[in-house]
Amino acid sequence: MNHPFEHRIKVRSYELDSFGHVNNAVYLNYLEEARCEYMEQRGLSFDSFREWQAFAFVVSAEIHYRSPAKYGDVLLVRCVFSRMRRTSFALDYEIYNETKGRLCATASMSFGFVDANEKVIPIPAAFREKMMPT
């Protein structure tokens, strides 16, 4: 079921903490940016979710930090769609620092689906179709 995806991000100055490293919380932004790009490549957008009246939300996020990234480093975010159940799915990530040649972090995020009333619902068929192997 996995469709590997890669997205590059260049570290910007405003993403740094007082020690000159990418702030830990910024890594969540990197994961979100990669996920949005990944979904677009699979033919999905935020408009798709509105059309279906089905909305994905983060259930859990787990990040394991390995080494810091600094201003100007080029990060390669690798993303893979790792699990799909009836009402949820998961993405696994690896953030690799191409500039330094080392792994910065690994992560996993789980998502559920709710309707406009915030009731948990099955994953929409159109979403499944876009994410299933071709």
Q: Residue 133 pLDDT > 60, yes or no?
A: no
pLDDT digit string, tens, across residues 54-86: 999 999 999 999 999 999 999 999 999 889 999
Which amino acid, one-letter code, is at 66?
Answer: R
The residue written with tokens 């994961």 in the block is 31
Under 8 Å between Cβ of 109 and 38: no
**Res 1: pLDDT:** 42
Q: Residue 3 pLDDT > 60, yes or no?
A: no
Under 8 Å between Cβ of 24 and 57: no
CA distance 96 to 49: 30
- 92 catalytic per annotation: no
What does the domain layout of the chain look like in residue ranges? 5-131
The 3-state DSSP class for residue 30 equals helix
Catalytic residue, chosen from 17, 73, 92, 115, is 17
The CATH class, in words, for 5-131 is: alpha beta
CA distance 34 to 25: 15
